[in-house]
C-alpha cells in the first residue's frame, strides 16, 4: 500500500468518523500486515493519521521491548498531550513495572517535553495499582516547567492517591514539589470518587498548607 491507496481507503470513514471507527479501520490494517511507515512524515501535518501510524505499527510488533524502542525512535512525532496518552492504550497489557521504571528514569531526563510526559503517563492505568511500587514511583517526580509534563505528574499523583493514599499523603506532606504540580495532584485526588471522604479531607488540608508556603 502507498499513500494514495491509503488515503482512498481512509476516506471511506467519512469526515465525521469517531475514534472507534478509526480503531476498526486500523485493526484491519494490522490484520492485513500493512506497513504504514509512509505516514511518518505526515503525522504532524495531518493529525488524523497520527493514531493510525502508531496504532498499526505497534499492533504488528510482538515484544514490548520492540514497541517501546519504536516509541522512543518516534519521540519527535509526539507534539501534543493526546499523542502521548494514546500510546498507553496500545502497549498497556504488555508492560511490566521493572521494564517501565528503568525506561521512565531516562524519559524524564529528555529535552523533549512530551517524552518526559510519557515517562509519567506510561505507568497508567495498570502499573500504579500495586501500592508496594509507589515508593519507587515517587522518586521519579521532579519540578518541570512544561505545563503538559506538570499535568502528567499531577495525574500520576492522583492515581497513587487512590491506590496508596497514606504513602501519597506522607510524600506530599514533605513538600517535594512546587504547588503547580502538587496542588493539581491533590485537586485530582479530591475529585476522584475512588478516594474516601476521610482522605479527601486530609488532602484538602494539605493543599491549604501548600498555599501558605
Confidence (pLDDT) at 170: 95
CB 38 within 8 A of CB 71: no
Cα 109 from Cα 182, distance rounded (Å): 20
Cα 98 from Cα 35, distance rounded (Å): 31
CB 118 within 8 A of CB 153: no
Confidence (pLDDT) at 124: 95
Confidence (pLDDT) at 212: 73
H/E stretch holding 200 reads helix 197-212
Confidence (pLDDT) at 53: 97
- Burial class of residue 204 (count of CB atoms within 10 Å of its CB; 0-12, 13-18, 19+): middle
Cα 156 from Cα 86, distance rounded (Å): 15
Sequence spans of domains, the chain? 93-212
Residue among 112, 74, 79, 105 at smallest CA distance from 91: 74
Residue among 81, 82, 75, 30 at smallest CA distance from 57: 30
pLDDT one digit per residue (tens) for the chain, 213 residues: 999 999 999 999 988 999 999 999 999 999 999 999 999 999 999 888 999 999 999 999 999 999 999 999 999 999 999 999 999 999 988 999 999 999 999 999 999 999 999 999 999 999 999 999 999 999 999 999 999 999 999 999 999 999 999 999 999 999 899 999 999 999 999 999 999 999 999 999 998 888 776
Q: What is the pTM for the complete model shown?
A: 0.93
Amino acid at each position: 500500500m502507498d499513500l494514495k491507496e491509503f488515503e482512498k481507503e481512509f476516506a471511506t470513514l467519512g469526515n465525521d468518523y469517531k475514534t472507534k471507527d478509526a480503531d476498526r479501520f486500523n485493526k484491519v490494517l494490522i490484520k492485513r500486515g500493512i506497513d504504514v511507515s509512509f505516514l511518518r512524515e505526515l503525522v504532524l501535518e495531518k493529525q488524523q493519521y497520527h493514531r493510525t501510524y502508531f496504532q498499526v505499527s505497534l499492533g504488528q510488533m510482538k515484544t514490548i521491548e520492540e514497541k517501546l524502542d519504536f516509541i522512543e525512535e518516534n519521540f519527535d512525532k509526539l507534539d501534543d498531550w493526546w499523542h502521548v496518552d494514546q500510546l498507553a492504550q496500545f502497549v498497556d497489557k504488555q508492560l511490566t513495572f521493572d521494564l517501565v521504571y528503568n525506561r521512565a528514569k531516562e524519559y524524564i531526563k529528555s529535552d523533549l517535553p512530551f517524552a518526559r510526559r510519557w515517562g509519567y503517563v506510561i505507568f497508567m492505568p495498570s502499573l500504579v495499582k500495586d501500592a508496594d511500587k509507589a515508593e519507587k514511583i515517587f522518586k521519579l517526580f521532579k519540578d518541570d516547567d512544561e505545563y503538559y509534563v506538570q499535568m502528567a505528574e499531577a495525574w500520576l499523583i492522583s492515581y497513587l492517591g487512590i491506590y496508596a493514599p497514606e504513602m501519597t499523603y506522607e510524600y506530599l506532606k514533605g513538600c517535594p514539589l512546587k504547588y503547580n504540580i502538587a496542588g493539581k495532584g491533590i485537586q485530582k485526588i479530591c475529585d476522584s470518587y475512588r478516594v474516601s471522604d476521610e482522605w479527601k479531607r486530609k488532602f484538602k488540608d494539605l493543599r491549604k498548607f501548600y498555599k501558605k508556603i
